[in-house]
Amino acid sequence: MNHITALARVVGRTRSYPWLEDREMEVAFLDVPILPTSPIELGSYVCIAILEPKPPTVARMANYRDEPRYTAYTSDIRGRIIGIRAMEPEVTEFVLKNDNDDLNTKYAYVAVPHVEGTMVCLPWWARVVRWTLHALDLVAQTR
């Protein structure tokens, strides 16, 4: 499998084991709003680049239709996708195990808009589970 670079926004961080004082481990929550270099799938090796909003400039402030702009910088979060945490109709959330032992962040939950073949590539069994859950949700909503 190839290396995938994903541009992500940090949504939050939390300590994964608060009762272990000697070993602080964190879990990062990331959103991937921009198309990655390849679809993310189980077993993929993903390198995360963090998106930070650029401060507005005078020239940009004069433009009323100013879109937000971002700067991407490399982070030390990189590793294999080891699982799927959640599958919703619009979003799939992957679990990334960080290979960098120097960081306190051991795992990252990477939320990706579910566009099959473009943003994500799920195995057949995960597609069946996702379709079944979505169908059951639709049936429950009609009652």
Locate tokens 């962040």: which residue?
Answer: 105
Q: Number of structural domains, the chain?
A: 1
Residue range(s) defining the domain that contains residue 134: 3-142
Range in 7-11, 12-16, 90-94 with the lowest mean pLDDT: 12-16
- The residue with greater pLDDT, 98 or 1, is 98
Q: What pLDDT does 60 receive?
A: 58
Predicted confidence (pLDDT) at residue 54 exceeds the cutoff of 80: no
pTM score: 0.77
Q: Would you say 39 and 5 are in contact if contact means Cβ atoms under 8 Å apart?
A: no
What confidence category does residue 65 fall into, taking pLDDT thresholds of 50, 70 and 90?
A: low
Distance of CA 10 to the CA centre of its chain: 9
What confidence category does residue 57 fall into, taking pLDDT thresholds of 50, 70 and 90?
A: low
Q: Would you say 85 and 28 are in contact if contact means Cβ atoms under 8 Å apart?
A: no
The full DSSP string for 43-101 is: T-EEEEEEEEEPPP-HHHHH-TTPPP-EEEEEEEEEEEEEEEEEE-SSEEEEEEEE--T
